[in-house]
Structure 1
Amino acid sequence: MNHAKRRLPPARERILQAADRLFYADGINTTGVDAVIEAAGVARMTFYKHFKGKDRLILAYLNGREVRWQALLDRCIQDAGDDPRARLLAVFDALKEWASSQSRYRGCSFVNAMAELAEPDHPARTLVTSYKRALRDRVFELAQATGTADPELLTDQLLLLYEGAITNRTFGHVTDAIEKARTTARHLIAMA
């Protein structure tokens, strides 16, 4: 019998997968390049061929998470149909699905990165700020579509719920934090 060799993903993809697992589970600062190289099963030279250093890997890691989050958010909004209120609530549906898909939920990878990368000029901080701004813009756009009198206020309220749900889900202080935040969001949207 001829057994075909199992094809591994390309080296760059393996490095990103390893970084994603390790950075999220163990933290960016505590995960060294050597641990990523070992987990990816690549040579040091291969790592540096694809990423000139850890900072570039961090940016690629965050970008990969943002791309996956945006795809999930887009799908949940699409699945919500044409009702503007349901589409706005879909932000919480996406959050719940995202949190449930993590083997060990550690909160928002972007907030975690901001906390870990304290240097004000670290390029990841600019990236994370732009991602959070894009989420705010998206929520504002969805809030406007509901016809609310004050979409700015509704956006602020929903984002406070969103971030609070993440924190409470992470620490386990509130049972079913995301679902409770969604219920509160539904009430806010109805009153807006």
Structure 2
Amino acid sequence: MDTDLARERILDAAEDLFYARGIQAVGMDAVRDAAGVTLRRMYQLFPSKGDLVEAYLARRDARWLDSLATHVDTVGPTAQARVLAVFDWLEDWFARPDFHGCAFINSFGELAGTSPQVTAAARHHKDAFHAYLHQLTTAAGATAATGAQIALLAEGAMTTAAISGTPAPARHAKAAALNLLTLDARPVASPA
């Protein structure tokens, strides 16, 4: 098996297992078995579990943000519709049978005190997501404060959907985001 294929198989197995069960609950043997590679091959590619976790989170970050942006790019012509499309994408994600919450929130909760790399990966992902939302909300004419509030709505929807087991938080957050965008678009009346 060539290096690229082995790496992809290991990362696929790690992603499935770490995301479904948690990073601490999954050993390297389980990843090896699921990937169908030898332990020697796995350790050649990922010398430690920490290296594998970092690679898993980096790949998940890129894929997640790319999938979101691809969805938003296919949405209607208005900048406001693009902001709201984020919540439609979140709702679709929350409705999947393999949804277990945000992998970055989960990994941070598990390992924040013991793994600076996981903390850095989680912060990087959230910073990138919030920057993307800021870009969308600014294009829709919203203030930076509204963009930050919309980011909090998205983050809250992720956590609430994971706990509640329903995609409904995305719809509620979308309605609140629409209200924020509408209020932000209104001109402020000057005192007479």
**Structure 2 partner of 1:89:** 84
Aligned partners of 2:93 and 2:99 also within 8 Å = no
**Structure 2 partner of 1:165:** 157
Residue 94 of structure 1 deviates from its aligned partner by 2.2
1:174–1:187: structure 2 CA closer, same or farther, 3 Å change rule? farther
Residues 66-122 of structure 1, C-alpha deviations (whole Å, 9 max, x = no match):
121122111122112331101111221222233334x33211000111111123652
Question: Counterparts in 2 of 1:13-162, with a 5 A limit?
Answer: 13-101=8-96, 103-119=97-113, 122-148=116-142, 151-162=143-154
1:175–1:139: structure 2 CA closer, same or farther, 3 Å change rule? closer
Distance in structure 2 (CA, Å) of the matches to 1:173 and 1:18: 24
**Structure 2 partner of 1:11:** 6
How many pairs are equivalent?
181
1:67–1:129: structure 2 CA closer, same or farther, 3 Å change rule? same
Distance in structure 1 (CA, Å) of the matches to 2:89 and 2:25: 29
DSSP-derived class of the 1:56 partner: helix
Please, which runs of 5 or more residues in structure 2 have no aligned partner? Answer: 185-192
Distance in structure 2 (CA, Å) of the matches to 1:98 and 1:61: 19
Whichever residue aligns with residue 86 of structure 1, its letter is: A
1:43–1:91: structure 2 CA closer, same or farther, 3 Å change rule? same
Distance in structure 1 (CA, Å) of the matches to 2:110 and 2:124: 17
Residue 171 of structure 1 deviates from its aligned partner by 1.3
Which range moved further: 66-75 or 28-37? 66-75
Aligned partners of 1:89 and 1:185 also within 8 Å = yes
1:126–1:37: structure 2 CA closer, same or farther, 3 Å change rule? same
Distance in structure 2 (CA, Å) of the matches to 1:31 and 1:173: 23
Distance in structure 2 (CA, Å) of the matches to 1:31 and 1:136: 30
Distance in structure 2 (CA, Å) of the matches to 1:175 and 1:160: 17
Residues 41-65 of structure 1, C-alpha deviations (whole Å, 9 max, x = no match):
1111010111111111101111121
- TM-score normalised according to structure 2 size: 0.87
1:29–1:139: structure 2 CA closer, same or farther, 3 Å change rule? same
Distance in structure 2 (CA, Å) of the matches to 1:173 and 1:15: 28
Aligned partners of 2:95 and 2:167 also within 8 Å = no
- TM-score normalised according to structure 1 size: 0.87
Residue 132 of structure 1 deviates from its aligned partner by 0.7
